[in-house]
Structure 1
Amino acid sequence: SDLAMNEPNVKWFLSAADAAKLMNELSPNTPLTDATTYYGVLVTPNNCGSLVPTAVKVTINLSNAELDLTQLKYYPNPVDSELNISYIEEIKKVEVFTITGQRVFGNDYQGNEVKVDLSRLSAGTYLVKIETAKASQFVKIVKK
């Protein structure tokens, strides 16, 4: 995971002592560790600045966020054979489940617009899981 920073002049350290002395700066590519406290110091171009470190405790949330439903389009519903899905981010995977949770279909995709062949499915109600790199969402469809 990455810390999103709007201030480019912050240097990061693993200890308050290192931060106060500007020693052992962490590489920008250092992977973050859950439940670890990092210390940031705002440094000006001539390496002076506030040497009072700011502590930031990292908590990594592994839950998958939901898609923005205002940007998700899926049609037709009810569907005869082909379901069209579009989203503002690249769609990575689509899975289809029965209403009781049994997985009946899944495929990987690469694109903001995908066509899913549902012609093999029996008529009924299904849950479709749409996944991007950042989030996922279940939607209910009816197969004619």
Structure 2
Amino acid sequence: MNIIPHRYPFILVDAIYFKDDKHIIGLKNVTANEPFFNGHFPKYPIMPGTLLVEAIAQVGAVFILGKPQNQGRLAYFTTVELARFRRPVRPGDQLVIDVCETAVRPRVGKATGLIFVGRRLAVEARISFALVDLPAVLPAHPPATL
């Protein structure tokens, strides 16, 4: 997962198990220990919809940033369209995150993502992103340490 800059606690993909020239499939095993379950919701834990869309984006970023012409770049969200949440995602679910590239230009792209739990569709969304060169987004000084 070194292709994308995300790290714990914000990495939302555990593995990539299929990739071809227009399509990628990733997995996320949702555990009861996920930090967001502490507050969403303690007695009825449900994975937040925004994080499900982020999981689609992260799998899509692995796909697009893994291409040789995009090394040294980041993918930033620009839009989320038609996000639909079909069923709640709970601790113990395994997410199959299926992302298909629909359009890519040198600096922008679009993709469609589906998340399945078992054979049931849980989430669908269309996303757009901008590709940005890393030097333009790195901080001018090292980040603070605690």
TM bin, normalised by shorter chain, reads under 0.3
Structure number with greater CO (CA < 8 Å, separation at least 6) is 2
Higher relative helix content: 2
Q: Provide TM-score, normalisation by structure 2.
A: 0.27
Larger radius of gyration: 1
Q: Provide TM-score, normalisation by structure 1.
A: 0.27
